[in-house]
Amino acid sequence: MRTSGATDAKKNDDDVEKEDENNNTKIIIDLASRARTVLAAVRRLEENDDDDMQRKRRRRRLRVLVLGADRNEGATDDETEKIFKACGEEIPMDVSLVGPNVPKDDDAVWSSSSSGRSAKEVRVAERERRLFHEKERGLTTKKEREREGRDEQQQQQQQQHDDTCEYDIAFAFNAGVWGYDSWTESLRRAVERYPKMPVVVTAYSMKECEMDEDCVREAFEEEEIRFVWEAEENKHHGEKVGGEENGRENSAWMCFVSNSGEKVGFRK
């Protein structure tokens, strides 16, 4: 027979589980502005494409690169899929998370293509805990491979993936480009390696977004890039606050692309 103390303990455990579930749900909702921002950017960029381009994009999954990703884009693949679900319901997408603070999903098995998961609205294609320009250089020494916990086969798989992977669009959410020198090298690598890939940078406020824009302009020659849109307010912002001015995340955004690309929009 269960004692009242045991019953109370069971209730307390249930309450804790419900509270944790509610908190997780609230976090997902708070971060949903990422999905809204991705969807809005894709729609806006499609306005620059012809009908044939739009048909090609709809026949496959959207390939999204998140630069400077961290826990806010999901601590696990399941969380990431939930955060971007609102966009994935309209546009099936593969998300690549790259950044020095990307949490590792121990349950996830890296694969360049996973047929068992291909029907998902949102699929996590990559989780790389490093700066983007470091990822693109690859791991060149045994010590680096050991630090990443990779064996030779995994390293070969990653290199094959890096050689063939292309992205349709990149996002740097609440990046703070103005505050980190490492952003310059990563953004330059992204623009040079994928010249047709638009890069969208968001910020907690218009002031920070304008500062980010200034840094980008200083990092590139005028003829190297062009702005699809300059720093402006983003109506798809979230409610979570942060940044220098304690603003709401993704409150402002800008978009630029390499001038060597033939077209602003999605790769043919």
Give the Cα separation of 128 and 69 in Å (integer).
9
User: What is the pLDDT at residue 260?
Assistant: 82
Nearest to 203 by CA among 183, 229, 185, 177: 177
pLDDT confidence band for 71 (50 / 70 / 90): very high
Tokens of 266: 């999605």
How is residue 109 written in tokens? 């098995």
Rg (CA), the chain: 20
Give the least confident one: 63-72, 151-160, 211-220, 245-254. Answer: 151-160
Closest CA to 80 of 95, 91, 67, 62: 95
What is the pLDDT at residue 136? 58
Which SS3 state, helix, strand or coil, does residue 265 take?
coil
pTM (two decimals): 0.75
Considering only 10-14, 48-52, 93-97, 199-203, which range has the smallest mean pLDDT? Answer: 10-14
* Residue 34 identity (one-letter amino acid): R
For 174-221, how does the pLDDT look when each residue is reduced to its tens digit (9 = 90+)? Answer: 999 999 999 999 999 999 999 989 999 999 999 999 999 999 999 999
Q: Are 129 and 71 in contact (CB under 8 A)?
A: no
Place of tokens 């509270």: 19
Judge whether residue 143 has pLDDT over 50.
no
Query: What is d(CA 19, CA 24) in angstroms, rounded to the nearest whole number?
Result: 9
Nearest to 232 by CA among 207, 263, 206: 206
Q: How confident is the model at residue 127 (pLDDT cuts 50, 70, 90)?
A: very high
- 1.10.10, 3.40.50, 3.30.160, 2.60.40: which CATH number matches 31-258? 3.40.50
Per-residue pLDDT at 109 exceeds 90: no
Supply the pLDDT for residue 83.
94
Cβ burial 218-230 (10 Å sphere, 16+ → b, else e) = ebbeeeebeebee
- pLDDT bracket for residue 110 (50, 70, 90): very low
d(CA 13, CA 19): 10
